[in-house]
Amino acid sequence: MSEDHTHVQEFFGARAADWDRKFPGDGPAFTTAVTEFGLRPGDRVLDAGCGTGRAMTALRSAVGPSGTVLGVDLTPQMLAAARRAGRDAEGALLLADVARLPLRDEVLDAVFAAGLIAHLPDPGANLRELARVVRPGGGLALFHPIGRAALAARHGRELTPEDMRAEHNLGPLLTGSGWNMVSYADDDDRFLVLAVRRP
């Protein structure tokens, strides 16, 4: 399902203005996922592929005023929609590619990535880049507000054993990219995988 950057920008850019209206009920799922992620006050967290910034309020609440929230997205229209929604009040928004983050090594405590993994052009290398900017023992959350089967049905396709987000595929992918998967949940109403950055 990976897509080149131009296609990703075109796809999401055309949908940015209506994105939040199209999925108005997702807020509680984001809040629950961030809560389960276990961030602490003062943590430095990246919202990777933040889109319209739907996770940023929950992330700010989790890390508190002493923490850092950074939202990064490849699509200018998505970041503009995030700003119109006032989500830049929760943290900094940056136009950047998660495959080449403009961040120092091990500068973050955690990465939250909603709906990102299917759009990574080179998932192994891109997950390694996320690992590069997170301290050893830091966390990664791969999230989607609906599960794999519901998402496949929404797009009119069937799940196959080759699905990258299937547990038997995602576990080794994470391991090979500097992460250890610690939990995997794929329910009708959410997909949430938590991993820890290896030393």
* Lookup result for tokens 């929404």: 154
Task: Work out the widest C-alpha separation in the chain, in whole angstroms.
Answer: 44
Give the per-residue pLDDT at 2.
40
Give the per-residue pLDDT at 4.
59
Note the helical H segments in the chain: 5-15, 19-22, 27-37, 56-63, 76-84, 123-132, 148-154, 167-175
Check if the beta carbon of residue 128 is closer than 8 Å to that of residue 179.
Answer: no
Pairing of strands 92-95, 108-114: unpaired
Give the per-residue pLDDT at 44.
98
The encoded tokens of residue 15 equal 């949908």
Give the per-residue pLDDT at 1.
35
- pLDDT (tens, 9 = 90+) of the chain, 199 residues, equals 344 566 666 666 556 567 667 776 788 999 999 999 999 999 999 999 999 999 999 999 999 999 999 999 999 999 999 999 999 999 999 999 999 999 999 999 999 999 899 888 899 999 999 999 999 999 999 999 999 988 888 888 888 899 999 999 999 999 999 999 999 999 988 999 999 999 9
Does the global pTM surpass 0.75? yes
Angle at 73 between CA 71 and CA 78, to 5 degrees: 100
